[in-house]
Amino acid sequence: MFAEIALAVPGLKPLTYRIPGGERVAKGMRVEVPLGRRILTGVVVDITGHLPREIRNLKSIIKIMDQEPALTEELLVLGKWMAEYYYCSWGEALGAMLPAAYKPVGREMISRTELAKQAVLPRGTARRLMERLSQGALTRRELLRNFGAGAARVLNELHSRGLVNVEIKLPGTRRQPGSENHSVPTDHPPVLNPHQTTARECIWTALDKDKYAAFLLHGVTGSGKTEVYLQAIAHTLEQGRDAIMLVPEIALTTHIRARIAARFGDRAAVLHSGLSLKERAEAWSRIHQGEARVVLGARSAVFAPVKNLGLIVVDEEYESSYKQEDAPRYQARDLAAVRARALGAVLVLGSATPAMESYFNARRERYTLLNLPERVDNKKMPEIRIVDMLREISPRKGPPLFSRQLLDELEKRLATGEQSILFLNRRGYAPLVMCPECRRVITCPDCSVSLVYHRVDDNLRCHLCGRTSPPRPACPQCGAACLRLSGAGTQRVEEELRTYFPSARILRLDQDTIKKRGELEKTLESFGQGRADILVGTQMVAKGMDFPRVTLVGIISADTALHLPDFRAEERTFQIVVQVAGRAGRGGRPGLVLVQTMNVAHPVITLAQSQNYPDFFEREIEQRRLLNYPPYARLASIICRSRNPQAAWNLAQKVSARLKRAAGPQDTILGPAPSPRERVARETRFQILIKSTSHVSRSRVLGALKGLVPPSGSKMALDVDPQNML
Ligand code: ADP
Ligand code: ZN
């Protein structure tokens, strides 16, 4: 018998291996196989009794890792679809479906097998290696250190002869204090308001029909969308089916985790990035065994191995974190639709600010639109005021960080004990470091971006490649003695805030403050319990938080995203303003939002002020139509990169020539042009953009790249439906 094995290697089709006699192998099981000098884990995607053609040097499966298939037929098929749609290999797609603990990561422990005790030992390195192992198991790294890199081949040979065992040891388990383990449901659903009721009835009716249906739940912030999801999930369980709920970032949604646990107890599993590998594997196998039937998780939870899927919910479906930015570059929201359709399940996408693509689908009646136009319990939408920062500029100091109005409102909150959130979409202290003499901006030597000054550890940092360097006392170009910091990040907001309000309790939430495990939860918990007055943060503070004591939200600058070279810049600006604003006034008292901007008359700012999504959509969709961007066009972006700029350019030229030859009247090929991030980590990057009117014509064009292998030293990355144009 022979098996087709998909390996997580780019561009590699499934390969045929012999199944060792007497072994039971089924589709979806993970196996170890040799590939060249390596031993890799792959997934069985097919089994045949005879070979379609003669294969020289046919290798055998070394080890069967599962007793039961890890992936069902349904997921294998979904993986194949991904491979075709996103131009990754089938094995890469399947690799994305398995939790990390099931992949060959962690430390590889090498030990002697029982067989080795009786076997005649080989000579040379192999023998010395075996002798060393007879004293106890070693990691692969230790072995290679002792015996030199050449031992890798010897090791593989010993492994394929069954003389050594290679086991993946998982990193130790550390349990998070206070992590979910409420096993009994403790929560009772509230009575829904009329809008919620209508939405729920529509979804229930669709669930009862047992057929694919898709809904877009457009509900303003605080309108009770989550409650509708929970009741839809409850109904799915009553039908004996399973449900998946996706959230953009699981760590930020502690309140949703708590609500799911309280409502569904043991029947729920949370695939949380804060879990250890082992805990994740445990949660995954509870789902796989059918013990957990409600799955809550981020992007990759779309692949949760539930047996009988009835419902997939995608909360805040516009969020760009649903797109995976490394291969396989899939979009979980779109895959949710593909999976739901294949299984006759119901799809519910929800947001206060739907993605243009999703609302467009609702307009075209591919999705049924459900509206929740009001907040629950007659709570008012927050009042949004635009603050003109041009008027606040002082001739000597330039624009201040805080307007007079914002300072006054903060002061009032401090006096009454209410909480405030300040949002700025930039971390660090100062995003620009400039020489006052020659006006040169200090940039990363390896990337084409400016370095960001971090006051907390007093260094300059590149936010692209992570390189840090101590702040230079002098300008590298003209030698001027003192560099000037310009612009502001969250660290500066925090620092200045302390000078205005020395006794206020201030917390900061951004990538830099949550490096340690559990910091994020701690910060959110302390703010939630009222142990701080002001929370300063990046977009993290915009995401779905429900803090009833927050009555003031200040957007330090609404302009940061407005002029980025990305066709989604205005959409993002609208979303972020409305979402951050939505954190205010969720409790009893009304909320106030101050939006500081230099662009008071910009239509996106004024539409965000009135929180008028439909008008925003009309304006934006017209632009997309005129400029031929999604949802009117299907995009793909290709980045060619190399440390050698000429090599990157040559590759880009070759790629674009092939694409242009294959392009028809429905396709436009733009570029190659320097990518907006022209250099990253010493590599020069050229970008090519494909715009097609349909998926079919785009895939015909992309088909022209088949078989193109970049020369060594150059790389090519293909991104289908790119989320980020930078
Ligand atoms: P959204 O997801 O739209 O922002 P949530 O579902 O989180 O809104 O609801 C906001 C708050 O209102 C939550 O604390 C939730 O428990 C509460 N809530 C939701 N629906 C109702 C209802 N029908 N009656 C009373 N409270 C509700
Ligand atoms: Zn850099």
Centroid of ligand 1 to alpha carbon of 187 (angstroms): 13
Indicate which CATH number applies to the domain containing 115: 1.10.10
The tokens for 46 are 């097919």
By residue range, what is the domain housing residue 242?
A: 187-377
Residue 475 confidence (pLDDT): 78
Centroid of ligand 1 to alpha carbon of 255 (angstroms): 11
Q: Which region among 137-146, 279-288, 679-688 has the lowest average model confidence (pLDDT)?
A: 137-146
Provide, rounded to the nearest whole percent, the portion of the chain with pLDDT above 90.
62
Residue 670 confidence (pLDDT): 95
Q: Which of 406, 399, 511 is nearest to 452 (CA)?
A: 511
- Nearest-CA residue for atom 24 of ligand 1: 190
Residue 349 has pLDDT above 70, yes or no: yes
Which ligand is nearest to the Cα of residue 449, counting in written order?
A: 2
Average pLDDT, the chain: 89
What is the CB neighbour count within 10 angstroms for residue 141?
A: 11
- Nearest-CA residue for atom 23 of ligand 1: 192
User: Does the residue 400 lie in any domain?
Assistant: yes
CA distance 703 to 690: 12
Q: Are the C-beta atoms of 168 and 107 separated by less than 8 Å? A: yes
What burial letters (b/e) apply to 438-463, b meaning 16+ CB within 10 Å?
eebebbbeebbbbbbbbbeeeebbbb
Same domain, 225 and 280: yes
Centroid of ligand 2 to alpha carbon of 455 (angstroms): 18
User: Does the residue 608 lie in any domain?
Assistant: yes
CA distance 512 to 428: 8
Residue 277 has pLDDT above 90, yes or no: no
Q: Find tokens 């050229």 and name the residue.
A: 686
Indicate which CATH number applies to the domain containing 518: 3.40.50.300
Query: What is the chain's alpha carbon radius of gyration, rounded to the nearest angstrom?
Result: 28
Centroid of ligand 2 to alpha carbon of 590 (angstroms): 44
Same domain, 273 and 329: yes
Provide, rounded to the nearest whole percent, the portion of the chain with pLDDT above 70.
95
Residue 47 has pLDDT above 90, yes or no: yes
Mean pLDDT over 406-417 rounds to 97
Phi and psi at residue 30, to the nearest 5° = -95, 140
The tokens for 392 are 């606040």
Residue 263 confidence (pLDDT): 94
CA distance 340 to 212: 6
Q: Which residues line ligand 1 (CB under 6 A)?
A: 190-193, 196, 219, 221-227, 376-377, 546
Centroid of ligand 2 to alpha carbon of 726 (angstroms): 15
Q: What angle do CA 603, 604, 610 make, to 5 degrees?
A: 90
Centroid of ligand 1 to alpha carbon of 196 (angstroms): 10
Helix (H, G, I), strand (E, B) or coil at 153: helix
Same domain, 402 and 533: yes
Centroid of ligand 2 to alpha carbon of 462 (angstroms): 5
Centroid of ligand 1 to alpha carbon of 176 (angstroms): 28
State which ligand 1 atom lies nearest to the alpha carbon of 220.
3
Same domain, 480 and 499: no
What is the CB neighbour count within 10 angstroms for residue 57?
A: 4
What is the CB neighbour count within 10 angstroms for residue 149?
A: 8
Question: Regarding beta strands 294-297 and 242-246, do their DSSP bridges make them parallel or antiparallel, or are they unpaired?
Answer: parallel
Which ligand is nearest to the Cα of residue 195, counting in written order?
A: 1
CA distance 73 to 69: 9
Helices 73-86 and 90-97 meet at what angle, rounded to 10? Answer: 130
Predicted model pTM: 0.88
Helix (H, G, I), strand (E, B) or coil at 110: strand
Domain boundary among 595, 623, 651: 623
Eight-state DSSP code of residue 557: -
Centroid of ligand 2 to alpha carbon of 430 (angstroms): 16
User: Does the residue 103 lie in any domain?
Assistant: no
State which ligand 1 atom lies nearest to the alpha carbon of 548.
14
* H helical segments located in 214-270: 225-238, 254-264
Q: Which residue from 187, 220, 226, 583 has its CB within 8 A of the most atoms of ligand 1, so it is best to mutate?
A: 226
State which ligand 1 atom lies nearest to the alpha carbon of 222.
4
Same domain, 278 and 347: yes
Residue 598 confidence (pLDDT): 94
Give the model confidence (pLDDT) of 699-725 as tens digits.
999 999 988 989 999 999 999 999 987
- Nearest-CA residue for atom 13 of ligand 1: 224
Residue 553 confidence (pLDDT): 97
Confidence of residue 177 (pLDDT cuts 50, 70, 90): very low
State which ligand 1 atom lies nearest to the alpha carbon of 255.
7
Domain boundary among 569, 589, 623: 623
User: Does the residue 176 lie in any domain?
Assistant: no
User: Does the residue 273 lie in any domain?
Assistant: yes
Which ligand is nearest to the Cα of residue 465, counting in written order?
A: 2
Same domain, 510 and 554: yes
The tokens for 584 are 């205010």
Residue 108 confidence (pLDDT): 65
Q: How many residues does the chain have?
A: 726
Helix (H, G, I), strand (E, B) or coil at 679: strand
Same domain, 247 and 320: yes
Same domain, 397 and 516: yes
Q: Which region among 322-331, 340-349, 425-434, 647-656 has the lowest average model confidence (pLDDT)?
A: 425-434
* H helical segments located in 305-403: 332-343, 356-363
Residue 138 confidence (pLDDT): 80
Mean pLDDT over 201-210 rounds to 97
Q: Which residue from 186, 188, 192, 227 has its CB within 8 A of the most atoms of ligand 1, so it is best to mutate?
A: 227
The tokens for 695 are 């998926």
Residue 284 confidence (pLDDT): 87
Residue 180 has pLDDT above 50, yes or no: no
Confidence of residue 510 (pLDDT cuts 50, 70, 90): very high
Mean pLDDT over 678-697 rounds to 94
- Nearest-CA residue for atom 12 of ligand 1: 224
CA distance 257 to 250: 8
Residue 106 confidence (pLDDT): 41
State which ligand 1 atom lies nearest to the alpha carbon of 315.
2
Q: Find tokens 């500066």 and name the residue.
A: 492
Residue 401 confidence (pLDDT): 94
Centroid of ligand 2 to alpha carbon of 685 (angstroms): 14
Same domain, 158 and 21: no
Residues in Cβ contact with 502 at an 8 Å cutoff, skipping those fewer than 6 apart: none
User: Does the residue 177 lie in any domain?
Assistant: no
What is the CB neighbour count within 10 angstroms for residue 726?
A: 11
Q: Report which of residues 184 and 482 the model is more confident about.
A: 482
Most distant CA atoms of the chain, gap in Å: 87
Confidence of residue 101 (pLDDT cuts 50, 70, 90): low
User: Does the residue 238 lie in any domain?
Assistant: yes
The DSSP result for 448-513, as a single string, is SSB-EEETTTTEEE-TTT--EEPPPSS-TTT--S--EEES--HHHHHHHHHHH-TTS-EEEESTTT
Residue 459 has pLDDT above 70, yes or no: yes
Query: How far lies 195's CA from each of 32, 225, 546, 621, in Å?
Result: 53, 10, 20, 27
Which ligand is nearest to the Cα of residue 677, counting in written order?
A: 2
CA distance 350 to 582: 15
Helix (H, G, I), strand (E, B) or coil at 416: helix
Residue 480 has pLDDT above 60, yes or no: yes
Indicate which CATH number applies to the domain containing 665: 3.30.70.600
Amino acid found at 375: R
User: Does the residue 601 lie in any domain?
Assistant: yes
Residue 355 confidence (pLDDT): 98
Same domain, 337 and 366: yes
Residue 551 confidence (pLDDT): 96
Residue 182 has pLDDT above 50, yes or no: no
The tokens for 599 are 């662009």
Which ligand is nearest to the Cα of residue 463, counting in written order?
A: 2
Quote the number of domains for the chain. Answer: 6
State which residues have CB under 5 angstroms from ligand 2, the bound ion: 444, 446-447, 462, 464-465, 467
Same domain, 524 and 602: yes
Give the model confidence (pLDDT) of 511-553 as tens digits.
888 887 788 888 999 999 999 999 999 988 887 788 999 999 9
Domain boundary among 623, 654, 687: 623
Q: Are the C-beta atoms of 264 and 185 separated by less than 8 Å? A: yes
Same domain, 286 and 354: yes
Residue 162 confidence (pLDDT): 80
Residue 157 confidence (pLDDT): 83
Indicate which CATH number applies to the domain containing 62: 3.40.1440.60
